[in-house]
Structure 1
Amino acid sequence: MTKQDQKPSRSFAGIAGIVAIATLISKIFGLIRQQAIAAAFGVGAAATAYSYAYIIPGFLLILLGGVNGPLHSAIVSVLAKRKQEEAAPLVETVTTFVGGILLIVTFAQIFFADELVDVIGHGLDGTTRAIAIQQIQIMAPMALFAGFIGIGFGTLNAANQYWLLSLSPLLSSITVVIGIAILAVQYGKDIILPQYAYVGGMVLAWGTLAGAILQWVVQLVVQWRLGLGTLKLRFDFKSPGVQEVIKIMTPATISSGMMPINFATALYFASPIPGAAAGFNYANLLVQTPLGIISNIILLPLLPIFAKLAAPENWPDLKLRIRQGLLLTAFTMLPLGALMVVLSVPIVQIVYERGAFKQDATELVSSLLIAYGIGMFAYLGRDVLVRVFYALGDGQTPFRISTFNIFLNALLDWLLVQPFGAPGLVLATVGVNCSSMLMLLWILNRKIDGLPWREWSIPIIGLTAGSIVSGVASYGALVACQQVFKSTNLVILLIEVSIAGLVGIAVFAVFVTWLKIPEVNSFVVRMRQRFLKK
């Protein structure tokens, strides 16, 4: 498609190595950002208001502007099959189309901020409500930049540019941390006092918006340098390439838009629970840090491959690639989820428990982390399958499933919030992801002439069993360490988590070696060679 096409194509493991390093750097900065927010605001008014205000602008940035989001996926699926000279006009036309729509969304957020907060935050106190309204109005332009960023990510991915895709999200984290640092210098320890909640809330909002703008600008420079489109307005909406992008992008975007609706539903039920909304953000960040790295490693190299194997004559190879994606998802997510469950309390203590973040906040966030850990495989497995449908040019199926799951999610929220509290709302999301994954597999089975269920399910069951055993071993190691050290200072906690984690990983490694799964063994060998070479 571009000049990069003339170079030898990178191997899956080679791309995965680049993505892993860049995404790790980005996620570390994201974790530092959340630690700064936790230390400065805990689960108080500024952080709670930010959780509600961030729903629409933030989720648009994550979903539309995120790596593996619908715009990214649609652009890659189309550009991967087209010539270089078609890229710039197509990208410019899609940017014009998407920008026009998201400009309307931006103004809608500004004018209807009060109503948005009242709908999803019916139980908020007056101070938190006022901060959230102001934050929404400040962050509203992120809707527009989210679209531009998502299109740019897809364009650069199709041109075999992986560093910027995985690295640029750290810019948003940097701007927020700088804002909090300036606030801390100005107010010192008084920053945690309630009377400074409004100022803190504004710093969070302006820092987040500045990060989105900076991320777009940096990406745009590279895009221009590669000749992959400028800011020129184009209205050739009826061209075949643009129509194909719109055909995939529209239902995929609406489908992805169901996620903030589901999250808003959870926040609606959570609003009477003190600190729950901020707790969701803290726990979700702990999950998204490793999950984001691994999802990029798996999905970024596979998405163009899925697109190139979309023709019926290539379906046998496509099935092998789908199996590869699902098995690598199980190999990474299942043991990681098990460790999240058994080590939730010390992990939260190490990462967050300082400043305004106290023991009661640790108890809340650790309980949420357990629920998130249970569903990590279903979360990423669903994403793998959705990308297969996008590659096949079918955005309607994921859209219909997401629509159904809005109602399922609301029902599960209502059923689970009473017996389980805030963790019940996370478990409802886990249930929705499991439902989505099963429905996608069932439809895919009919769509591509059958799936080898036995060949896929047996190794996944084996990996599940190995993860359970490794989780039990890790918990046993943690209890033993606690009996030996009998201290909760930071260094001791780090030692305990490290030992318990290594025990769990070692047990799981033995299990994987015994299972002898070809895709897993090949991936591990290539990744080891890649990093040892570096």
Structure 2
Amino acid sequence: MSEKNASRRSLANIAGIVAIATLISKVFGLVREQVIAAAFGVGPVVNAYAYAYIIPGFLLILLGGINGPFHSALVSVLSKRDKSEAAPLVETITTLVSGILLLVTVFLVIFAPFLIDLVAPGLTATPGGEEVRLIAIRQLRIMSPMAMLAGLIGIGFGTLNASDQYWLPGISPLFSSLAVIAGLGGLGLFLGRDLLDPEDAQLGGMVLAGGTLLGAILQWLVQLYAQARSGLGKFRLRFQFSRPGVKEVLKVMGPATLSSGMLHINVYTDLFFASYINNAAAAMKYANLIALTPLGIISNMILVPMLPVFSRLAAPENWVELKERIRQGLLLCALTMLPLTAILVTLSVPVVRFIYQRYAFDQAALEVVAPVLVAYGLGMFFYLGRDVLVRVFYALGDGETPFRISIFNIFLNGILDFLLINLFQTPGLILSTIGVNITSMGVMLWVLNRRLNGLPLLHWGKILLTLIGGTVLASVGSWGSNQLWEQWLGYNNLFLEIGQIIFPSAVAFLLFFMVANRLQLPELTILVNRIRAKFKR
């Protein structure tokens, strides 16, 4: 809302709130995946769920996620307007979005078999693939209402953030995790036996999908309650499509949705190729969750408070400060993501073992998932750095440039998938996405350099190369520490498993930040001060 009606929290304050809320949600998300892994391993239920969740999950991330196009569009528009204009504007956008997404929901129910065959054509060619296909069709039909819920959740995120409410939106995803955990726990108690029993696969798949849907409903209801209490709109029909601000929201929302959608089509492309490899979808799902837990926390901590700042600096007279904020965003990404890259690349086996290996998730599953986690670790900075640059374009009112770049990236991703899957199998699909994100960052920086009358790209590049060198050094230290720990102490109990992760990780962080400290970056000072402030509290 307008600054005259609301006192703005500091960036550090907002980042802290978002980080804590997101941390809680991500921890529950990790527990949810542990429960799923323990119940089903990398078997047909999880593989089916990976394909059935493609479209509902795609819409939930695309439309309903923090930093998604709905969130970004509403924040960028509402942050410039008086609070009294919010409720009718939000209700009008909600009416329009709900009508469109209700049709999408009906489409998903009717055409579920066709859609599963479209996204996973290789299933019937793999052992047990027909069973996976049937489970996936049922799961997709159960989760189809998430199409409409995704839009409503995204609107809620944007509306609450624009009014300086960050805690509830950040923590609301935990309701989804709780619903899945409760559903699978109840099923296990009801059956009183191993959920891996083949005759329970269909039932287990339905419970997993039903818990996911229930979680999305709870997440939306919690946001709607907070939205209504704050006078920011209720769930009511309002057809004032000519109202001031509606066209402005749609102008950003439309191209931004298409642009982000193009990025997520790359996920479909990856799973299209994955359907020809046994258990590839499940491996990608488990490894992705490990990588996204820290990435999601840090992403929200950096991007959520910076988007309104980018928006307020969009005018030409503020471009000097905008450039500084762009640098700040990119270097904060590098300082937080690159040491994590060193850790995930060198400690993939201990991390996967500690998080997942129990009950149905055995040594064979570990050997499938760990190499995929290495690939995800390599791309963390490029994933987050791309998101920072996309938000700059949104703040400038330009959703078309990211959209055009995303169109090109679809073809690039398909080519890289085809080439790299033959060389590296499942990890090759992740490496292709990294190539796409690197290309996106390069093109967007080139466009911003021209549009903002020059960026100090050479200087930024030297800093990033030095930090990448620090990552290599940190990786060597982490790998060596891990080898010593395993040879001298092993991992025969829980405490040794934890130590095998913590000790090499500490070595990696120490070596990386020794290199980073020599650069005397103000961004490092900002990061350290934020961490100190949190510990003092």
Give the TM-score normalised by the residue count of structure 1: 0.98
Larger mean Cα displacement after TM superposition, 279-288 or 446-455: 446-455
Confirm or deny: 8 A CA contact 2:491 2:500 kept in the other structure.
no
Quote the offset at 1:464 in angstroms. Answer: 1.2
1:510-533 per-position Cα deviation (integer Å, ceiling 9, x unaligned): 22222210122123113312x133
SS at match of 1:227: coil
Match of residue 535 from structure 2: 532
Match of residue 85 from structure 1: 84
Which of residues 368, 381, 384 in structure 2 aligns to 1:380?
384
Quote the offset at 1:131 in angstroms. Answer: 0.7
SS at match of 1:228: coil
Confirm or deny: 8 A CA contact 2:517 2:524 kept in the other structure.
no
Match of residue 470 from structure 1: 474
2:252 is the counterpart of 1:248: yes
Whole-Å separation in 2 of the counterparts to 1:161 and 1:389: 24
2:321 is the counterpart of 1:322: no
Quote the offset at 1:6 in angstroms. Answer: 4.4
1:368-421 per-position Cα deviation (integer Å, ceiling 9, x unaligned): 000011110000000000000001000001111111111111111101111110
Unaligned runs of 5+ in 1: none
Q: Cα distance 1:487–1:297, how it changes in 2: closer, same or farther (>3 A)? A: closer
The percent of aligned pairs where both chains have the same amino acid is: 57
Quote the offset at 1:271 in angstroms. Answer: 1.0
2:195 is the counterpart of 1:185: no
Match of residue 73 from structure 1: 72
Q: Cα distance 1:87–1:487, how it changes in 2: closer, same or farther (>3 A)? A: closer
Larger mean Cα displacement after TM superposition, 467-476 or 507-516: 507-516
Quote the offset at 1:447 in angstroms. Answer: 1.4
Match of residue 59 from structure 1: 58
Larger mean Cα displacement after TM superposition, 180-189 or 37-46: 180-189
Partner amino acid for 1:510?
A: M
Whole-Å separation in 2 of the counterparts to 1:190 and 1:296: 38
Confirm or deny: 8 A CA contact 1:50 1:205 kept in the other structure.
yes
Quote the offset at 1:86 in angstroms. Answer: 1.3
Quote the offset at 1:362 in angstroms. Answer: 0.7
Quote the offset at 1:119 in angstroms. Answer: 1.1
Quote the offset at 1:190 in angstroms. Answer: 2.1
SS at match of 2:64: coil
Whole-Å separation in 1 of the counterparts to 2:475 and 2:4: 44
Match of residue 270 from structure 1: 274
Which of residues 453, 462, 465 in structure 2 aligns to 1:461?
465
Whole-Å separation in 2 of the counterparts to 1:5 and 1:369: 47
1:292-316 per-position Cα deviation (integer Å, ceiling 9, x unaligned): 0000000011000011111111111
Whole-Å separation in 2 of the counterparts to 1:350 and 1:188: 26
1:126-151 per-position Cα deviation (integer Å, ceiling 9, x unaligned): 21111100111110000101101101
Quote the offset at 1:220 in angstroms. Answer: 0.4
2:140 is the counterpart of 1:141: no
Whole-Å separation in 1 of the counterparts to 2:10 and 2:461: 27
Give the TM-score normalised by the residue count of structure 2: 0.97
Partner amino acid for 1:48?
A: N
Match of residue 285 from structure 2: 281
Match of residue 126 from structure 2: none
Whole-Å separation in 1 of the counterparts to 2:389 and 2:121: 36
Confirm or deny: 8 A CA contact 1:22 1:167 kept in the other structure.
yes
Quote the offset at 1:262 in angstroms. Answer: 1.3
Which of residues 440, 444, 453 in structure 2 aligns to 1:440?
444
Whole-Å separation in 2 of the counterparts to 1:294 and 1:5: 30
Whole-Å separation in 2 of the counterparts to 1:40 and 1:213: 24
1:197-248 per-position Cα deviation (integer Å, ceiling 9, x unaligned): 1111001100000000000000001000110111222222233411111111
Larger mean Cα displacement after TM superposition, 455-464 or 246-255: 455-464
Match of residue 315 from structure 2: 311
Whole-Å separation in 2 of the counterparts to 1:526 and 1:367: 33
Match of residue 220 from structure 1: 224
Whole-Å separation in 1 of the counterparts to 2:492 and 2:410: 42
CA-atom RMSD in angstroms: 1.3
Whole-Å separation in 1 of the counterparts to 2:530 and 2:185: 41
Match of residue 480 from structure 1: 484
Partner amino acid for 1:205?
A: A
Whole-Å separation in 2 of the counterparts to 1:7 and 1:70: 24
SS at match of 1:67: coil
Match of residue 115 from structure 1: 114
2:344 is the counterpart of 1:344: no
Larger mean Cα displacement after TM superposition, 85-94 or 26-35: 85-94
Partner amino acid for 1:13?
A: A
Unaligned runs of 5+ in 2: 124-128
Confirm or deny: 8 A CA contact 2:112 2:141 kept in the other structure.
yes
Larger mean Cα displacement after TM superposition, 213-222 or 487-496: 487-496
Whole-Å separation in 1 of the counterparts to 2:5 and 2:512: 41
Whole-Å separation in 2 of the counterparts to 1:486 and 1:327: 37
SS at match of 1:64: helix
Quote the offset at 1:259 in angstroms. Answer: 3.2
Quote the offset at 1:5 in angstroms. Answer: 5.8
Whole-Å separation in 2 of the counterparts to 1:334 and 1:185: 43
Confirm or deny: 8 A CA contact 2:5 2:82 kept in the other structure.
no
Q: Cα distance 1:526–1:493, how it changes in 2: closer, same or farther (>3 A)? A: closer
Whole-Å separation in 2 of the counterparts to 1:312 and 1:281: 43
Whole-Å separation in 1 of the counterparts to 2:515 and 2:5: 42
1:287-338 per-position Cα deviation (integer Å, ceiling 9, x unaligned): 0100000000000110000111111111111111111100000000111111
1:429-484 per-position Cα deviation (integer Å, ceiling 9, x unaligned): 11111111111111111111111113322222221111111111011110010111
Confirm or deny: 8 A CA contact 2:39 2:194 kept in the other structure.
no
Following superposition of structure 1 onto structure 2, how do residues 505-520 of structure 1 map, counting pairs within 5 Å? 505-520=509-524
Larger mean Cα displacement after TM superposition, 488-497 or 439-448: 488-497
SS at match of 1:191: coil
1:160-182 per-position Cα deviation (integer Å, ceiling 9, x unaligned): 10101210001000000001101
Partner amino acid for 2:47?
A: T
Partner amino acid for 2:116?
A: V
Match of residue 50 from structure 1: 49
Whole-Å separation in 2 of the counterparts to 1:500 and 1:215: 37
Match of residue 32 from structure 1: 31
Partner amino acid for 1:474?
A: S
Partner amino acid for 2:284?
A: F
Whole-Å separation in 1 of the counterparts to 2:4 and 2:427: 47
2:370 is the counterpart of 1:366: yes
Match of residue 426 from structure 2: 422
Confirm or deny: 8 A CA contact 2:33 2:286 kept in the other structure.
yes
Larger mean Cα displacement after TM superposition, 62-71 or 255-264: 255-264
